[in-house]
Amino acid sequence: MSAPPGILSNLRAYLDSKAGLRTLVLLHSAVTCLSLIEVATFQLSIDFDPKRLWIAVIVATGFSVVSLLFVVARFSFGYFAGFYFYTMILGFLWINVFSDYNYPRLLAGISAALALPLLLMPMLFIRAPLRPFVTLSNVRFEHLLTIILIVSIATIAVASTYNFRLVSIANIYDYRDSLEFPGAVRYLIGWVSSALLPFAFASYWLLGHRWRAGLVLVLLLLFYPITLTKFAFFTPAWLIALVVLSRLLEARASAIASIFVPMLIGLLVIWVTEASLGSIPGRYFDIVNIRMMATASGALELYNDFFANHPLTWFCQISILKPLMHCPYNEPLAVVMQNTYDFGNVNASLFATEGIASVGPWLAPLTALAAGFVLALGNRASAGLPPRFILMSSGVLPHVLLNVPLSVALLTHGTAILFLLWYVMPRTLFEEKP
């Protein structure tokens, strides 16, 4: 039995109000911290000492004031991605209190707590539209979507000649380290799966072309046997979830609920069932609460520990700069972390890579500010587009930004391409659509 329309409309109006958003973001902050307490029972790398709990509560409570920025800001791409960054940094500050690693924890915490607001200021509040030098007509835009489908199908066909294995999620690590794709194919896989197909899905869905939107989901799922990543396996389901959320809630509440609701479900499930990670409830908790969020926060801890005792990179890890300057590391930073900590490839966000690894904790807030201005270009490029479309078409990118450097997100995962697509698409496209 469905709820009466009046109740749903009242709930939607409340959650989009300042009071509703304030309640939602503060509840999310509490769930993030409670989730990390449970994560510590499964992962020895994330410690929890009840004697330090009062310190962690004070730190988390003080830092949660930053979340109130999401109450006053309007929705944009920066709002969506920024809330995921807030969750990650809150998680790091919580983990930092309990850390047993030998790095200057107070300095690392202050650096991260300062870096996030500096990142969010441009991401949340720079929204002035770019001057439209080129804008496609509605007809040419539909042709562009067809080209995206053709490029996607061709990419899948070519990539599958290098790898196509139907294996369970539990067994992907037996094969994934042996995967090798040529550089051009690797870039195409990133562009298509992270930017082009989610963009096409959002366009087709909101234009009412549901069978084409369904085709896009099938194409996205085909990247799973090619790349053998959980990211590829769950992307179609994630986009469907965003469709449902954005139908029920306004854009700001949808962005917050997109991470709050999955984490809350994982926490409640693990509390009620007291399951192990091998069980179905435990696997859900592992995928959402551990892999999706706690791992991103924990990666920042590892980078702080490593670069407290090793040379900084000064951005030499960026592929286009590496040949031009001396670099103390011959391998990618994710591999360096794997060899040091034996946790697998530890990819990390801009806070860890362009921040801690490149310039250290003292200057990391400045690189975060610069990154905020870069990501704010997404707000400007998408200005004038429906908030629901922005949310759905960029649905994959917040997860990408939590787990890879900004340079990789822009170039390898197609974030810059998505910004360009937003910039050239017609603003009248959805005017006559429901």
pLDDT of residue 1: 44
For residues 28 and 326, the model is more confident at: 28
Q: What does the alpha-carbon distance between residue 414 and residue 199 come to, in Å, rounded to a whole number?
A: 11
399 and 407 Cβ atoms separated by less than 8 Å = no
Find the helix packing angle between 251-273 and 77-98, rounded to 10°: 30
Long-range contacts of 20-23 (CB under 8 A, 24+ apart): 20/253, 21/70, 21/71, 21/252, 21/253, 21/256, 22/68, 22/71
Confidence of residue 324 (pLDDT cuts 50, 70, 90): confident
Structure tokens at 196: 């082009």
For residue 393, pLDDT beyond 90: yes
Place of tokens 């609460």: 289
pLDDT of residue 432: 54
| Secondary structure letter of residue 192 according to DSSP | I
Q: Count CA within 13 A, CB hemisphere, residue 252.
A: 24
Q: What does the alpha-carbon distance between residue 280 and residue 262 come to, in Å, rounded to a whole number?
A: 15
18 and 72 Cβ atoms separated by less than 8 Å = yes
Poorest-pLDDT segment among 39-53, 262-276, 320-334: 39-53
DSSP 420-432: HHHHHS-TTTTTT
3-state DSSP assignment of residue 258: helix
Report, as an integer, the average pLDDT of 325-348.
85
Calculate what percentage of the chain has a pLDDT beyond 70: 96
For residue 189, pLDDT beyond 60: yes
For residues 217 and 14, the model is more confident at: 217
Report, as an integer, the average pLDDT of 34-51.
81
DSSP 80-149: HHHHHHHHHHHHHHHHHHH--SSS-HHHHHHHHHHHHHHHHHHHHH--PPPP-S----HHHHHHHHHHHH
pLDDT tens-digit readout, 108-161: 999 999 999 999 999 999 999 998 888 888 999 999 999 999 999 999 999 999
Q: What does the alpha-carbon distance between residue 163 and residue 89 come to, in Å, rounded to a whole number?
A: 36
pLDDT of residue 44: 60
For residue 179, pLDDT beyond 70: yes
Find the helix packing angle between 295-307 and 333-341, rounded to 10°: 90
Entry field: residues in the chain = 434
Q: What does the alpha-carbon distance between residue 210 and residue 353 come to, in Å, rounded to a whole number?
A: 40
Q: How far is CA 125 from the centre of its chain?
A: 20
For residue 357, pLDDT beyond 50: yes
Cα–Cα nearest to 308, from 300, 297, 319, 316? 300
pLDDT of residue 29: 96
Residue partners of 293: CB distance under 8 A and separation at least 6:
32, 35, 87, 88, 91, 259, 263, 402
First to last CA, the chain: 25
348 and 356 Cβ atoms separated by less than 8 Å = no
Q: What does the alpha-carbon distance between residue 141 and residue 286 come to, in Å, rounded to a whole number?
A: 40
For residue 282, pLDDT beyond 60: yes
Q: What does the alpha-carbon distance between residue 420 and residue 382 come to, in Å, rounded to a whole number?
A: 9
Poorest-pLDDT segment among 217-226, 229-238, 342-351: 342-351
Q: What does the alpha-carbon distance between residue 53 and residue 1 come to, in Å, rounded to a whole number?
A: 43
What is this structure's pTM?
A: 0.93
Report, as an integer, the average pLDDT of 247-253.
93
Q: What are phi and psi of 338, to 5 degrees?
A: -60, -45
